[in-house]
Chain A
Amino acid sequence: MAEKLIQVKDLNVTFKTQGGDIEAVRGVSFDIGHSENVAIVGESGSGKSVTALSMLRLHDPKQVVYPDGKVIFNDQDLLSVSENAIRSVRGQDISMIFQEPMSSLNPVYPIGVQIQETLQLHKKLGKEASRKIAIDLLDRVGIREPHQRVDAFPHMLSGGQRQRAMIAMALACGPELLIADEPTTALDVTVQQQILELLQDLQKDTGMSVLLITHDLNLVRKFADRVCVMHEGRIVESAETDTLLERPQHDYTKYLLDSEPDKRIAEITPKHEAIIKADNVKVYFPIRKGFFKRKVDEVRAVDDVDLELRKGETLGIVGESGSGKTTLGLALLRLVDSTGKIRFKDQEISEYREQQMRPLRRSFQIVFQDPFASLSPRMTVEQIVGEGLKLHFPELTRQQRDQRIIETLREVGLDEGALWRYPHEFSGGQRQRIAVARTVILEPDVILLDEPTSALDVSVQKQVLGLLSDLQVKHQLSYLFISHDLRVVRAMSHRVIVMREGKVVETGDVEDVFDNPQQAYTRELASASLYH
């Protein structure tokens, strides 16, 4: 038995593209021992996933070259063995789970069949025997009623269950190494924790090794024995987890650890006027069935919510996916129909029709989660940012308008060279700045921030949050801050409401709610999110 399970030596990966070669991974070396958990941490584009995929040679051979380097597993170099040899390693000795469980499971087969497939292929088991093992595996990964669930199709399972099914598939042949590529990123916080615990338990039971690929240093804290930090295709630092987190050596690691958002919000006193006050807000979506579209049931997306937002205040809205937090935000801005009372300053806007709302629209703005979808790809930055100005400040001349656009772009940290460019020419963080500029230029009262940073890398996240805080103080903006990330909410908000299944579970000052939660659900959420 070799001392190490797998050794990666001086791995280089180059992508061939039309615009020239791209060196995605440059001279990466690390090893994983038996029954060891190693994590590779890095931001998007750091080459961490490319490294993982290279270990099983899962790249398209037409696009990728391995100029040199070795991946030694069981005394053979996986980069140079035959296609047949590596196929017998994949799934059997080394298996892999991916970020998005919906797209990595085949939607037309039941999960049981997909688990059985690897068993039949590698272990040459029959149908009955493999089905029994599949049920056992589903039981082991914590899926309830495995006898029924084995015949379920992927769309019938929740995100967490799908990821469990993926893990069951990966474990089917008792691999020696499990590569988990961002296994929890697409999941809700409470589910994230369960999946990580499951992985840890399985690791202890089976004695396999796990290579965890993630962008989140905090996930690593409890899970990994050793951590490698990757940046621009290189491992910049690698050490025992505790050592690395306590005494980071490299600047980049320090930078990553420091990218936790700071709390810098202005004090709010009760004498600040209320901008939005909502009572009994309800949004029900009817479920219609049959030829005549009879209403058979309804989805209570937002169920009886009261809230108040003061000038210059940030109200955090926290909840897992499907809890109705975005719908609530849109209802408050009268972008979805709702019942109940909504007051804006001294106007009762809940009965306003679209035409009456239009002049008020300037006061309510939105920043969306995905900066790639929220900017029209065929408009230049000048058009995107200037559009609202044309509408709400028609008295401005062209020069004045351009002046305002440039000032606002500077305010959000972009220069005027951006004016004539299209959104696709910017990075995610820059796009989010453009989206912020589009809203701020209208001098709004309220901005709905719908997960504004969750599509961004941690370090960029911090910059955008800092920008939002600065703008709030400068312009006395009120924010409705929707997020599933409790750390971000804690840093940004004055008060918070916790939502579950359309209802408010708990509300209060952000410190009180998170440090001393009254409800079981809030406790669960807080411990899952601040679990590091």
Chain B
Amino acid sequence: MNASNGINGVHLSPGQRSWMRFKANRRGYISLWVFLILFVLSLFAELLFNDKPLIVSYNDELYFPFIKMYPETTFGGDFETEADYSDPYVRDLITAGSNWAIDPLVPYSYNTINFTSELPNPAHPTSNNWLGTDDRGRDVFARLVYGFRLSVLFAFALTAIGVVVGIFAGAIQGYFSGRLDLIMQRLIEVWSSMPELYLLIIFASIFQPSIWLLIILLSLFGWMGLSDYVRAEFLRGRNMDYVRAARAMGLSDVAIMRHHLLPNSLTPVITFLPFRISGSILALTSLDFLGLGVPPTTPSLGELLSQGKENIEAWWLSLSTFIVLVGTLMLLIFIGEALREAMDTRKN
């Protein structure tokens, strides 16, 4: 690759060269696009999977039920409560005469129960519920999409917190070393011997389980594995000549850590990144599976899996969740692999 060396007169900035290296890994590059498309689509899940119409034109006025709550009386109904758009009565009201409604792609949200189905729940895939319904009659496809979004966002948040805290702790230990390092290392040993799962169980019974509680609890423990590696890299790096040269130049400790040690200590961080993200998704899934995770109304992959276990004959539950889970993890790992190559400045 001549262009990336800048040999043929084109001078690429470091960022552009990293991008070239990333693109050179076809599998990772394609995975990135597939993942991004899926993820962006899932971010707009409310527009695609919803039991409320996107736009309603009623008596020449425009309403946006998918973001705003309108009582049934708005559309000439009887109740003061929010309109149930799947009710045939309401449906008739908003589509009668010159009124019209634009519906989303799939008329089910993650918590919409399909009361019209004649099949017992969990119902196998039909033309209405493309991937069937779960044991409460909720659409599996919709739950998978919302669950995927929640899992990915959760994993990103957890990984980001873990990486930032881990790098910070490791950097401080490695750079200043000596007594500070000794004390922090002992604290980490004590902290890491706390039984994480028991704590989760205890907290799940004290507090209302929620996604935020999970992020906080898992973050408390998630940074330690990484900080050890970063600490080792900093310990090694602080005695290198280029760090001495930077000190001789008069750079402050923070600048040395940021510009000199950090980029050279990122190898373990980048290497573990895809595994941390997929590990976080798995953590959420397994906690949900055990019933220690998010509340039951929240769409989650783990809850679907546990339903699949309970209704083993309902193959559409476990199989579709399995495919989503494996697909996500694989995409993330392929992207991580390409990212690792992209960050390696020595590779061309």
Q: Say whether A and B bind each other.
A: yes
Tell me, rounded to whole Å, the shortest Cβ–Cβ distance linking B74 to chain A.
58
Chain A residues with CB under 8 A of B195: none
The residue in chain B whose Cβ has the minimal distance to the Cβ of A367 is B245
Chain A 46-89 interface mask (CB, 8 Å, partner B; 1/0): 00000000000000000000000000000000000000000000
| Residue A396, interface by CB 8 Å | no
> Which of B13, B245, B250, B345 is within 8 Å of A391, CB to CB?
B250
Give the residues in chain B near A362, CB-CB below 8 Å: 249-250
Given contact pairs A380-B14, A417-B6, A366 touches B248 in the complex (Cβ within 8 A): yes
CA distance A392 to B250 in the complex (A): 9
Restricting to B299-340, which residues have a CB under 8 Å from any CB of A? Answer: none
**Are B250 and A358 interface neighbours, CB within 8 A?**
yes
Contact B346 A377 (CB under 8 A): yes
A530 interface hit (Cβ, 8 Å):
no
Inter-chain CA distance A370–B248, complex, in Å, is 16
Q: List residues 1-50 of chain B with CB under 8 A from any CB of chain A.
A: 5-6, 11-14, 17
Asked whether B249 lies within 8 Å of A361 as measured between CB atoms, the reply is yes
Q: Are the C-beta atoms of B264 and A374 separated by less than 8 Å?
A: no
Q: What is the minimal beta-carbon distance from A531 to any residue of chain B, in angstroms?
A: 31
Bound complex: CA of A362 vs CA of B246, how far in Å? 11
Known: A373-B240, A377-B264, A420-B14. A387 touches B251 (CB 8 A): yes
Smallest CB separation, A43 vs chain B (Å): 23
Partner of B259 from A361, A379, A417, A435 at Cβ < 8 Å = A379
CB within 8 Å for A421 and B6 given contacts A335-B247, A335-B248, A376-B264:
yes
Query: By the criterion CB–CB under 8 Å, are A379 and B263 in contact?
Result: yes
C-alpha gap A298/B14 in the complex (Å) = 47
**Complex Cα spacing A425 to B346, Å:** 8
Q: How far is the CB of B266 from chain A (nearest CB, A)?
A: 8
**Nearest chain B CB to A384's CB is how many angstroms away?**
8
Q: Is the CB of B244 within 8 A of A442?
A: no
| B250–A387 touching, CB < 8 Å | no
Min Cβ gap A452→B in Å is 12
Tell me the complex Cα distance, A359–B249, Å.
9
Q: Mark B256-280, 1 if CB is under 8 A from A, else 0.
A: 0001100110000000000000000
Known: A335-B244, A376-B260. A388 touches B249 (CB 8 A): yes
How long is the Cα–Cα vector from A360 to B248 in the complex, in angstroms?
A: 10
Bound-complex Cα distance A383 to B245 (A): 14
Q: Which residue of A lies closest to B13 (CB)?
A: A420
Contact with B along A411-455 (1 / 0, CB 8 A): 000000101111011000000000100100010000010000000
Using a CB-CB cutoff of 8 Å, which residues 253-267 of chain A contact chain B?
A: none
In contact, A373 and B250 (Cβ under 8 angstroms): no
Q: How far is the CA of A387 from the CA of B248 in the complex (A)?
A: 12
| Cross-chain contact A333 with B242 (CB below 8 angstroms) | no
Instruction: Check if B205 is an interface residue, CB within 8 A of chain A.
Output: no
Digit string of A358-400 for contact with B (CB within 8 Å is 1, else 0)?
A: 1111101110111001111111100100011001100000000
A357 within 8 A of B: yes
**Majority SS at the chain B contact face:** helix
B80 within 8 Å of A by Cβ? Answer: no
Q: What is the number of residues of chain A that contact chain B, defined by CB distance less than 8 Å? A: 38
Chain B residues near A370 (CB-CB < 8 A): 241
Question: B202 in the interface, Cβ–Cβ < 8 Å?
Answer: no
A366 adjacent to B245 (CB under 8 Å): yes
Say yes or no: A421 contacts B246, CB within 8 Å. Answer: no
Q: How far is the CB of B16 from chain A (nearest CB, A)?
A: 9
Residue contact A387 to B346, C-beta cutoff 8 Å: no
- Number of A-B residue pairs with CB-CB distance less than 8 Å in the complex they form: 84
CB distance from A462 to the nearest CB of B (A): 23
The CA-CA distance from A388 to B259 in the complex, in Å, is 12
| A residues less than 8 Å from B246 (CB atoms) | 387
Query: What's the minimum C-beta distance from A431 to chain B, rounded to whole angstroms?
Result: 11
Q: Is B252 part of the contact surface with A, judged by Cβ < 8 Å? A: yes
Q: Is the CB of A387 within 8 A of B249?
A: yes
Whole-angstrom distance between the Cβ of A44 and the nearest chain B Cβ: 20
Task: List, in ascending order, chain A residues with CB within 8 A of B248's CB.
Answer: 333, 335, 361, 364-366, 448
Is the pair B5, A391 in contact by a Cβ cutoff of 8 Å? no
Find out whether the CB atom of A387 lies under 8 angstroms from the CB atom of B259: yes
**B241→A420 contact, CB < 8 A:** no
Given known A358-B250, A361-B250, A421-B5, contact A374–B11 (CB-CB < 8 A): no
Among B5, B17, B249, max chain A CB count under 10 A is at B249
Complex contacts, B13 vs chain A, CB 8 Å: 420
Chain B residue numbers with a CB within 8 Å of A369 are 241
With A358-B250, A379-B263 as known contacts, state yes or no: A374 contacts B346, CB within 8 Å: no
Kindly provide the distance from the CB of A166 to the nearest chain B CB, expressed in whole angstroms.
29
A387 to B259, CA, bound (A): 9
With A419-B11, A420-B11, A421-B6 given, is the CB distance from A376 to B242 under 8 Å? yes
Known: A376-B264, A387-B251, A420-B11. A368 touches B345 (CB 8 A): no
- Report which residue of B6, B13, B345, B346 has the largest number of chain A beta carbons within 10 angstroms of its beta carbon: B345
- A sample of 16 cross-chain residue pairs with beta-carbon separation below 8 angstroms, ordered by A number, consists of A335-B248, A358-B252, A361-B248, A362-B249, A362-B250, A373-B241, A373-B242, A374-B242, A374-B245, A379-B263, A380-B14, A383-B259, A391-B249, A392-B250, A422-B346, A424-B346
Beyond A387-B246, A388-B249, 19 additional contacts (C-beta under 8 Å) are A333-B248, A357-B250, A358-B252, A362-B249, A364-B248, A370-B241, A373-B242, A374-B244, A376-B263, A376-B264, A377-B345, A378-B263, A391-B251, A417-B6, A421-B5, A424-B345, A425-B5, A438-B245, A442-B249
Ranked 3 nearest A-B pairs via Cβ = A361-B250, A374-B241, A378-B263
